[in-house]
Chains A and B, each alone.
Chain A
Amino acid sequence: GESVGLHLPTLSVQEGDNSIINCAYSNSASDYFIWYKQESGKGPQFIIDIRSNMDKRQGQRVTVLLNKTVKHLSLQIAATQPGDSAVYFCAERGGKLIFGQGTELSVKP
Chain B
Amino acid sequence: GAVVSQHPSWVICKSGTSVKIECRSLDFQATTMFWYRQFPKQSLMLMATSNEGSKATYEQGVEKDKFLINHASLTLSTLTVTSAHPEDSSFYICRVGGGGAEQYFGPGTRLTVT
| A contact residues vs B (CB 8 Å cutoff) | 1-8, 32, 34, 36, 41-46, 49, 89, 91, 93, 96-102
Contacts and interface: CB of A to CB of B under 8 A. Distances in A.
A42 B43 contact: no
A6 B102 contact: no
Interface of B: 4, 6, 34, 41-46, 59-60, 91, 93, 95, 102-108, 110
Given A2-B59, A41-B108, 13 more contacts: A1-B60, A3-B43, A4-B42, A4-B45, A5-B41, A32-B102, A34-B103, A36-B105, A43-B6, A43-B105, A43-B108, A45-B105, A98-B46
Nearest to B44: A99
Contacts of B95: 97
Contacts, number: 58
A61 B81 CA distance: 40
Contacts of A91: 102
Contacts of A42: 107-108
B102 A93 contact: yes
Contacts of A46: 102-104
Contact of A34 (B34, B43, B46, B102): B102
Nearest to A7: B41
B43 A5 contact: yes
A45 B46 CA distance: 17
A67 to B, nearest CB: 21
B43 A102 contact: yes
Contact of A101 (B43, B91, B108): B43
Pairs A-B, 4 closest by C-beta atoms: A46-B103, A43-B105, A99-B44, A43-B108
B46 A97 contact: yes
A5 B93 contact: no
